[in-house]
Amino acid sequence: MKTNKITIIALVCSIVIISSSIFLCGNSKQAQNTKVENEINKNQQKTKKKLNRELSDEKWIEDIDYLATELPRRHKNLFFNTTQDNFQKQIEGLKKQIPYLNDNEIKVGFLKIVASVGDAHTNGYIKSEKLLPLKFYWFENNIYVINTSKKYENILYNQLVSIDGTNVDEIIQGISKTISHENSQWIKSILPRYISVPERLHGLNIVKNTDSAIFAFKDLEGNLINIDVKSKHFDENTEWVLEENENTPLYRKNSSQHYWYEYLQDSKTLYFKYNRCRVMEDRPMDEFRIELFNVLNENQAERLIIDLRNNMGGDDRYLREFIDRIFVVEKQMNHADKLFVIIGRDTFSSGVLGAMYAKENTNATLIGESTGGKPNSYGETNYFDLKNSQLRVYYSTKYFKNIDEDIDSFSPDVNIEVTLKDYIENRDPVLDRILKNRK
């Protein structure tokens, strides 16, 4: 009997010990899991603190939801090139990442979503507060500095190699995803401009901050140069190395004017530069057109050049009125060796329509590069702003089918590109070709 009691007591003690061990082990695992979860939350909180954002997660998510609702509702046909599922996946993907992204990364995510639509007229707009004092241009297969502030004069005409360790190919790939485009010409036109925008570079994780960046260049002799470039406030004045002067080629002059002309006496050529399809208040279009054709006739000009290479659009009816005048009244100019229209990678929207109208209704020779705009495209834009961030979204309200063949770009009869050497020597090979009267 005594032995049985001892056995029972021992058994009870064993059960208590085993239960305690299981309990303690369970608590230990639970404590470990809790510790891991706390560590994750702690890291997330640290991440949020480091972000120092303008808007809360909730405000950003509200904006992205608004984009997801409003853009498909307002656009003429948002899913002509992508699917609704793909669009929604991008929306949800960005929303999930928002707690761990800084403002610039979120803005870049927004740009990528809008650009993925594949409509060059539908794009996101982000106001930049800072600017790197560098201007770039894409010559042939490389990107070069074409102007800079006097502080960095030694890198003028240098080829871009990398920024903060990110090579130029990765930079091109990253920025391209933020640009709404329908052909490679528009990328070549627009991308170099964004290399000078530190907020966009920061949002793409190309630079570490928006205050400065280490640029690597290759000079004209092939030597590598590293330079720390400081950003400036967007409104801050910049003393550029290259300013407009008497040696500046015509196409690079008077860029702030919508339209202007110059009569070239030696070659008896009237050069008409049409930068924007808009009316200048101080120089009404009707008066300008009369003045231009008076100069044409008074000087008995032998050539008329309409330069649209930097025309990014507006209202195409103004140029149609010029073309109609040539077709109906100035018939002496309606010959392939007398009437020339210059187009290029910057020619977009109504600029493209003007070039196509000239080709269809006159005997003009088109010369230059293929256009950045697509002949058949969505357009006639409107916009809305996201409620909290005030980021602006431009969207197309109409589709324009202008030709039967759905081509990406409108090509010239004679293809000529400006090279780096041409740029350095202040030459315009397109104008030179026309004035030599060679097609």
36 — alpha (psi -120 to 50), left (phi > 0) or beta? Answer: alpha
Q: Which helix (H) or strand (E) holds 47?
A: helix 2-51
| Proportion of the chain above pLDDT 90, given as a percent | 83
Query: Quick check: 372 and 345 in contact, CB under 8 A?
Result: yes
Which one of 33-47, 48-62, 117-131 scores highest in mean pLDDT? Answer: 117-131
Pairing of strands 269-274, 303-307: parallel
Mean pLDDT on 351-380? 96
| Sequence-ordered list of residues with C-beta below 8 angstroms from that of 355, at least 6 positions apart, any chain | 308, 341, 343, 347, 366, 371, 410
**Dihedral (CA of 57, 59, 62, 63) sign:** negative
Question: Where would I find the H helices in 262-349?
Answer: 285-298, 317-328
pLDDT of residue 316: 85
Reported as a single tens digit per residue, the pLDDT across 111-163 is 999 999 999 999 999 999 999 999 999 999 999 999 999 999 999 999 999 99
| CB 352, CB 319: distance < 8 Å | no
Contacts of 65 (CB under 8 A, 6+ apart): 91, 95
Total-model pTM:
0.87
Task: Calculate the CA 46 to chain-centre distance.
Answer: 33
Question: Can you tell me the distance from the alpha carbon of 98 to that of 205, in angstroms, rounded to the nearest whole number?
Answer: 15
**Structural domains in the chain plus CATH codes:** 57-125 (no CATH), 130-232 (2.30.42.10), 250-373+409-435 (3.90.226.10)
Give 386's pLDDT tier (boundaries 50, 70, 90).
very high
| Predicted local confidence at residue 52, as pLDDT | 73
Could you give the percent of the chain with pLDDT greater than 70? 88
pLDDT tens per residue, range 199-218: 999 999 999 999 999 999 99
* Least confident span in 20-34, 74-88, 98-112, 315-329: 20-34
Using pLDDT thresholds of 50, 70 and 90, give the confidence band for residue 36.
very low
What's the whole-number average pLDDT of the chain?
Answer: 90
Q: What tens digit of pLDDT does each residue of 12-29 get? A: 334 333 344 433 334 444
